[in-house]
Each structure stands twice: as structure tokens, then as C-alpha cells.
Chain A
Amino acid sequence: MPQLEVKNIETYYGPIMAIKGISFEVEESSIVTILGANGAGKTSVLKTISGVMEPEKGTIEFMGKRIDHLDPDKIVRMGISHVPEGREVFHDLTVKENLAMGAFLRRDKDGMARDLETVHAYFPVLEARRGQLAGNMSGGEQQMLAIARALMARPKMLLLDEPSLGLSPVLVKEIYDIIKRINEEQKTTILLVEQNAWMALSTAQFGYILELGRIVMADPCDELMENEDVREFYLGIKEESVRGSKRWKRKKRWR
């Protein structure tokens, strides 16, 4: 049985339908990615899973239990941590306090100390800066802090919303290496939402492509990378035209 099963969810922002009925699943300990352009509904999918948004229709099951319509804190307790887009760390708190916030719901002091060590091992820079205000850190460091904070809840599944956003290529690679290590070493399931298709497809095992609130493709990542449409529209690889430059795009077909 898949760890997470999303069935026919529809989510609205007021009168606007952000997700037009989508279904997908995530296997335990895997990395799964959802790709899509701006406004495709990627963030809404994650928000709906973590309980920040409520689906109008459809069901979400996590480890066999219904979690749609549960409050976000209950969902965190069940083992799903959400790293929102734009690294929303608490700017006026120190790194240490930020990490403590991540473990807010936990009472096991020993476990927390062990996890803090693990987190510091993944992100040595956070240990070095533990007393610094989070707001004064660089973008990359803030992103690391946001991931580390989520890990402090010791999640079974991590929802990552565009971890590469606004970071330099070197930092993106560094963060992705750590994401992979977390998945391998902690067996944490990772559901990754990205615009950086290349990074996401080379990290994840399975991918879904979301366009205007609907899934148009669902395949293993190596197959997606070979797909003509994915190559042209997501990886930016296109055949050269006779003139040497080609600006127009052919129609997407998704097959």
C-alpha cells in the first residue's frame, strides 16, 4: 500500500479552482516529484496535504488513515512536515530557537537532542550559526534552516516546496545532495514540488506533471526525461530550426 494516497481532490481559492481533481500516490521511502509551471497548482497540492487548505472534494489517506479535513497540527503529529515555498523561517528568532519551534510538538528530550545532532550533521553551518538571528542569514542558509526545522518534527514524509527557488546553482546542488542523503539515511519519504525540472527529475524516482490543475503525465523520472514534451517544455531542450533560433513552441501533447 502506498504511504500517501490522494484521490480526486479539488481545491479552491475562493471561486477559483486551483486543483481540478487530481489523484496520485507516493510510496514509502521514495522521492516523488510534481513538476509544473507557475500557477499549475503545485503549491496548492502540498497545502492541501498538510491541511493548510481544505479540499472541496476528494480524499487523502496517509498510512491508511484519512487526513483530509484534519487540522494541520494533527497532520504534523502523524508525520508529515511541510517546508513552504520561500523559506518562511522565523526571522526574529535565532537558528536554535527556530529549530526548537520545529520540535514544538515533541516531549522526548533525549530524542530531540539526538535529532538536533543529526540535523547539525546534515547542515554544519546551522550549528556554527546557532545564536544568529535567522533573518540575517543568506537565502541558502535560510532554506537549510527551513528543511532542518521540518526534520526536527521527525517526519515520515517531507513536503518540499521549491527548495531551489532563488538559489545559486552551487547551493541548489548542495541542498539536493542533502535531500538525497536524508532520504537514503533516514528513509524519509520526500514529495518534492519544483520548477527546476532538471534537478527534480534527476533526484526523484517518480514524477507527475501538473498543468492547469490537472495531471497530464505520470511516469518514472528516467522515462519523463526522455519524453519529447518534457524535454522541450521543462528541460528547455529543443531541436534547432533552419534559422538557428526558434522562439515558437509546438503544441504540447503529453503522450
Chain B
Amino acid sequence: MALGKLQEAGPPAPGVDTVPKLFWQRVTEWADRTAMREKKFGLWQDITWREYGRMARYTGLALVELGLRPRDRAAIISDDIPEWLYCDMGIQCVGGTTVGIYPTDSPQQVEYVMGHSGSRFYFAEDEEQLDKILEVRDRLPDLKKIIIYDMEGLRDFRDPMAMSYDELLELGKQADQRDPEAFEKLLNIPGPEDTAFLVYTSGTTGPPKGAMITHRNVLAGFHSQRQVLKGYLEDELLTFLPLCHIAERGVTALGMIMNGWVCNFAEEMDTVPQDIREVSPTVFFAVPRIWERFYSAMVLRMKDATWLEKKAFNLAMAVGKACSDYRLHLKEPPVHLRAAFKLADWCVLRNLKRFVGLDRVRMCLSGAAPISPDLLKFYHSLGIDMREVYGQTESTGAATMHYAGGTKFGTVGEALPGIEIRITDEGEILIKGPSVFKGYFRDPDKTAETVRDGWLYTGDVGLIDEDGHVVIKDRLKDIIITSGGKNITPSEIENQLKFSPYINDAVVIGDGRKYLTALIMIDEENVMKYAQDNRIPFTTYKSLTQAPEINKLIWREVEAVNKKFARVETIKKFRLIDIQLTTDDDEITPTMKLKRKYINEKFKDIIESMY
């Protein structure tokens, strides 16, 4: 824990009521501090706040030169790289609205978001993202300019509509030299009620909707979060989830300007395990799928351990659990237990945490999907303060979370200060507060449906328990009503299934049916290892999912989960998904959750075969 002295970021200065103003305050006060790091040629390179500010300034000024007017939309389609943040701030600083597009989107999806948002600018990461817009630009009358970050492979590419990011920066630099006061004037253009950015959320019915998040939403959300989670200037993040998603946007882009967290960009999704070991973050946000992966990695590592190591691990975890039990009841564990934990940590747990890169972590956050309480327990026994966060795009991210020392497993914590939560008679969760969004862009009907009297209708079903903690049951529309008339919340069962190291994700089916079944996506690494260890021959992924021994293995896991539920809630049959789904597929979200609707559609025949 070589963190040294911890410094908290100061509050926004008086009169700072928009993201650009706060950003500029930080650029001024933290000029020489590291804002972010990027790995280039194998080395982590620092980028200071001064540099961050300069790039955003040039980007913004150049966009104005090119004709960006206040409230115009400008889109970014890129993996997480510094340019994403430069442009996001640049656009907002001159009064524009940022639109994030998932880099995995198809040209048709890009066309929809670009057309619907009426974006006039398109920031493309590289050749691949450029090709998408070129394919559909004839149908985008609002589009004015395409700006490309990485020009590799495009040396001979000439197009009047396109330019490189370097050229854009040069334009901004010239504008800045001509009128050095222009930028500060522009900073004051956006007001708190203006839209800072649009977040397109995939609708389960109909096309995606563009949630308008205002400057007030952002600042309000962060004022309330700051009261329950401490952030320090020395904290390190690892950024790897898509920045266009509200969760990563909130933790990284806004955590930076709010708390001074240092953002470290993972090289790629595939290198996250290595990157996390190199960075060893102190604050780590991830989706449950990632937490499940770390858990599997550690558990499987212990399976290969010697008898003595296993004994030591179990003992250490027992000590860890005893300690965390005290803490979860807001009590300090007795001295002997604390000493025992120190020893256990030093001998066993520390190494295991280092193995996954979580040895320095001060606070872990899980969100964007429900996580199994058993998984939270596991991390707490390791001595990791892991908290669950609940919220939606429409509530600008977090609405509830576990307060410091107030983790209660099976709940998503308490409402953040300034947020009110109510449960309707149908059990739907409603949220009210300054972080509730302005509405859906160009969709007053959907907006009126979602926000009524200032209450955000979340579409989630749940309750508030005796301690004021919110418990989420499921999505309202996902509730299964069997033909026997039983109401079943599939996500509770799915979360238990996902806790198995051999199961990556599962979709429980049974609406209007006699009994429940499940489609299961296996954990490739772990199941292959199992096949290897048990000499089960297989060639491809498909043949692995068809191996009878593997199906038996999964059935044992399903039966173990079935024991925890009432008879009507047990899975009677299951099938393994026999193709490897990637984030390019419609069946999986960018945060790697199976999409129920698409799964039900795509595997219709397989589902029918179970009934």
C-alpha cells in the first residue's frame, strides 16, 4: 500500500455549475499533475492536466472554426484512448453536446445514431470507423466533417469532408493564437440545463433512445456521490469499458474532474488482465462479468495448488470472512482477529490479490448489472472493500450504493444523498433527484412515459428493506409468469448460475411455459481446462459444448443452484450456447451481458426443443 499521504480534491469553485467550468478549474489547479496514462511502445506515458486542457482547448476552438454552434452535437466513435477525453471536453467546452457511439456498432447502427442525433461532426478512431461513416454518409444531411485520430493506412486517402485530428489541432492552435481569449469566453456559453452529452441506450423494443444528460445532472450526481465515497488525487483507475456507456463515463471522465482520479487506459480488452497487474489500480470499477472472471482465475489457481496451499487458503479466507462479518455490522473486529487477518493477508491473500492485480485496491465498485451476493462475500473475505452501485443512464449513473462500511449483501445499498427512492404498488422502483435526466432527445412521448412528476420510472422491480437498503428483483418486463401463474424473477437464478466458474452467463426461460429452462454460455477457459484435466476430447468450441461429459458438468452446477430455490423456480432442462459470442454480436451488450430478447429470438428453435 505505497500510497503515502492522501489528498482529497477540493470542491468546485463558487459559480462552477457546468462540466466545462469544473474541467477548466481542474486544468488550472492541477496543471502539472498527471491526468491520464497511455501505454505506448510498451511504456506507460503520463499526460498532465495542462496537456489535457490544451488538447481540449484546441479541439474546441477548431470545431468552432469549422462551424460548430452552441448545442450542436458531435459524435465520437473510438475505443478508450486519450483522444476520446480530449474531444469530449473540447466539444462540451465550446457549448456542444458529445454523442458517444460504440466502436463495435455496425454502419447501420452508426447511421441511426448519427441521423437521430443530427450530429455535425464525426470523430473516428481509425480506418475501420471511417469506413462505417463513408458507407452511410449520403443519408446524413447534417454531417459536416469527419475527423480521424489514427491515419495509419490512410496516407493516400483524400476526401473534402475528412481531415486528420492533427490537422484539426493545428487549426485550433491558430485560432487560439489569433484570439487567446476566445476559449475562456466560449466556456461560459453552456448553462447548467444544457445537454452535456447524449447517451444512446439500446431499447429492448424499438430503436435506441438518446438520453440527454445535462451539466446540472452531472454535477449533482457527483456532489451526492462524494459524500459517500472518498476520492483522492492519488487514486489510480484502469479504464477499459466503453466510455460511451454511462458507467465508465461516470467513473473515468467525470471521476477525473471531480476527484482527480488518474485514468490509465488499458491497451485492449484482451490485455486487461496484464494491464491491471501493471497499473494495480486503487479504485476499480467493473461489471460483474469481470468480477466473475477474476474470481474464476483465483479459484482455478487454487485448484492447481498443493494440499498445504489449499489448507492455508481456506484458513485465510475463513479469517477474512470473520473479519468482514464484523465490519459489515459496522463493528471493528477484535484485536486477535485483526492480527490474524494481517498474518493471513501477508502469507496468502496478498499473493492471490497480486496475481490478479488487486493488491493495492482501496475500493472496488460493481455495477451495470446485478452481481451475485456470494461473489461480493468472496471479495470481502479477501479484505477488498467492494460495493455495489445501482443506477441507470437516465439517473446519470449511480442512484444507490453501499456507503463506506455499509455493505449489505443482496442489496444495492442506500439512496445517495439528494436522491429519493419510492416503490410503486406494482413494485417498480422510482427515482427522484437532481441527477434524473432531462429526457430523451427528440422523443417527447418516451420522455413523458419515463419521467412523471419528476419521478423516473426505472422499469426495475424491487423493494426497500428495513435498513433502507434497496433490493433489486429484476426488470419489470423480464419477470416470468409460468403457465401455472407463478411469478419468477429470472435474474436471481441467473446470478446464482453465473457464480459457477464454468458458467459465464445464462438466460432463464419460462414465460407462459410449464417449467423453467435455461440457455447457458460456458466459461471457455475454465471448461476447456476441465476438459483437459479430465481427458475429454474436443476439437472446436462447438464440439466442447456438445461433449456429454461437459453437459454433465454443467448439469451438476445447475442442480447445485436448483437446491437453493423453491421447486417452481428450478431449472428442468438446459442447453449450452454452441457459438462463441463476441461484442460484435447483437446477442451481447458492450458490457458483456447476454441480451434476453436477442437470445430468445436467435435460439428460438433450441428453446422450443426443451419444451
Residues of A within 8 A of B (CB): 7-8, 10, 20-24, 57-59, 208, 214-218, 241-243, 245-248, 250-251, 253-255
Query: Can you list 12 A-B contacts (CB < 8 A)?
Result: A8-B537, A20-B528, A208-B539, A216-B541, A241-B135, A242-B131, A242-B134, A247-B153, A251-B584, A255-B542, A255-B579, A255-B580
Q: Are A8 and B540 in contact (CB under 8 A)?
A: no
Q: Which residue of A lies closest to B537 (CB)?
A: A23
| CB nearest neighbor in A for B579 | A255
How far, in whole Å, are A247 and B128 apart by their CA atoms in the complex? 8
Note all chain A residues with C-beta closer than 8 A to B580.
253-255
The CA-CA distance from A23 to B540 in the complex, in Å, is 9
Find the residue from A23, A59, A216, A246 having the highest chain B CB count within 10 A.
A23
Q: How far is the CA of A58 from the CA of B535 in the complex (A)?
A: 7
Residues of A within 8 A of B536 (CB): 8
| Cβ distance B122 to chain A, nearest Cβ, rounded Å | 14
Q: How far is the CB of A156 from chain B (nearest CB, A)?
A: 22
Whole-angstrom distance between the Cβ of A143 and the nearest chain B Cβ: 30
Range, interface on chain B? 20 to 34
B127: chain A residues at CB < 8 Å are 246-248
Residues in B neighbouring A22, C-beta threshold 8 A: 539
For residues 529 through 551 of chain B, which have their beta carbon under 8 Å from a beta carbon of chain A?
A: 531-532, 535-543
Whether the Cβ atoms of A8 and B539 lie closer than 8 Å is no
B153 A21 Cβ-Cβ under 8 A: no
Q: Contacts A241-B131, A243-B157, A246-B131 hold; do A23 and B538 have CB atoms under 8 A apart? A: yes
Check: B582 CB closer than 8 A to any chain A CB: yes
Known contacts A7-B537, A20-B528, A21-B532, then 17 further A-B pairs from the complex at CB < 8 Å, ordered by chain A residue: A23-B537, A23-B539, A57-B532, A57-B535, A214-B528, A215-B539, A217-B540, A242-B131, A242-B135, A246-B131, A247-B127, A248-B126, A248-B153, A251-B584, A253-B584, A254-B580, A255-B542
| A115–B193 alpha-carbon span in the complex (Å) | 89
- Give the number of residue pairs across the A-B interface with Cβ within 8 Å: 65
Write out the residue numbers on chain B whose beta carbons fall within 8 Å of the beta carbon of A59: 535
A82 to B561, CA, bound (A): 51
Distance to closest chain B CB from A39 (angstroms): 16
Task: Please name all residues of chain B whose beta carbon is closer than 8 Å to the beta carbon of A21 when the two chains form the complex.
Answer: 528, 531-532
Give bound CA distance, A216 to B538, whole Å: 10
Given known A-B contacts A23-B539, A24-B539, A253 and B582 have beta carbons under 8 A apart? yes
Nearest A-chain residue to B534, judged by Cβ: A8
Which residues does chain A contribute within 8 Å of B134, judged by CB atoms?
Answer: 241-243
> B347-379 CB contact bits vs A (8 Å, 1 = yes)?
000000000000000000000000000000000
> Given A7-B535, A10-B532, are A254 and B582 also a contact pair (CB < 8 Å)?
no
Interface residues in chain B, defined as those with a beta carbon under 8 Å from any beta carbon in chain A = 126-128, 130-131, 134-135, 153, 157, 528, 531-532, 535-543, 579-580, 582, 584
Judging by beta carbons under 8 Å apart, are A218 and B540 in contact? yes
Contacts of B128 in A (CB 8 A): 248
Contact A218 B543 (CB under 8 A): yes
Q: Report how far A253 CA is from B153 CA in the complex, Å.
A: 24
* Bound-state Cα–Cα, A160 to B134, Å: 46
Q: How close is A194's CB to chain B, nearest CB, in angstroms?
A: 18
Write out the residue numbers on chain A whose beta carbons fall within 8 Å of the beta carbon of B582.
251, 253
Residues of A within 8 A of B531 (CB): 8, 21
Which of A8, A10, A243 interacts with B131 by CB under 8 Å?
Answer: A243
Contact A215 B540 (CB under 8 A): yes
User: In the docked arrangement, what's the CA distance between A59 and B540, Å?
Assistant: 18
Q: List, in ascending order, chain A residues with CB within 8 A of B130's CB.
A: 243
Q: In the complex, what's the smallest C-beta–C-beta distance from B365 to chain A, in angstroms? A: 29
A228 to chain B, nearest CB (A): 13
Complex Cα–Cα for A57 and B543 (A): 20
Of all chain B residues, the one with the shortest Cβ separation from A216 is B540
Which B residue sits closest to A21, measured CB to CB? B532
Quote the shortest CB–CB distance from B587 to chain A (angstroms): 12
Contacts A242-B131, A242-B135, A251-B584: A218 and B535 contacting too (C-beta < 8 A)?
Answer: no
User: Which residue of the partner chain A has the closest CB to B582?
Assistant: A251
Contacts of A24 in B (CB 8 A): 539
B6 shortest CB reach to chain A, Å: 39
CA A10 to CA B531, docked complex, whole Å = 12
Q: How far is the CA of A245 from the CA of B543 in the complex (A)?
A: 37
- The residue of chain B having its C-beta at the shortest distance from the C-beta of A5 within the complex is B537
A254 cross-chain contacts in B, Cβ below 8 A? 540-541, 580
Q: Given the complex, which residues of B lie within 8 Å of A20, measured CB to CB?
A: 528
Residue in A closest to B104 when the chains form the complex, CB atoms = A251
Whole-angstrom CA separation of A246 from B129 in the bound complex: 12
Question: How far in angstroms is the closest Cβ of chain B from A1?
Answer: 14
Inter-chain CA distance A245–B126, complex, in Å, is: 14
Q: How far is the CB of A209 from chain B (nearest CB, A)?
A: 9
Query: How far, in angstroms, from A1 to B588 measured CA to CA in the complex?
Result: 40
- Expressed in whole angstroms, the minimum distance between the Cβ of B137 and any Cβ of chain A is 9
Which of B126, B535, B539, B541 counts the most chain A CB atoms within 10 A? B539
By a CB distance below 8 angstroms, the chain B residues around A214 are 528
The 10 lowest CB-CB distance pairs between A and B, nearest first, are A23-B537, A248-B128, A247-B153, A21-B532, A218-B539, A242-B134, A7-B537, A215-B539, A255-B579, A241-B131
List A contacts of B540 (CB < 8 A): 215-218, 254
Query: Contact: B584 with A250, CB < 8 Å?
Result: yes
In angstroms, how far is the closest chain B Cβ from the Cβ of A123? 35
Bound CA span A57–B539, Å: 16
Inter-chain CA distance A59–B532, complex, in Å, is 11
Residues in B with CB closer than 8 Å to A10 are 532
User: Distance (Å) between the CB of A221 and the closest chain B CB?
Assistant: 15
- B573, chain A: closest CB distance, angstroms: 24
The smallest C-beta distance from A224 to any residue of chain B, in angstroms, reads: 12
Q: Give the chain B neighbours of A248 by CB distance below 8 A.
A: 126-128, 131, 153
* Cα–Cα, bound, A133→B542 (Å): 50
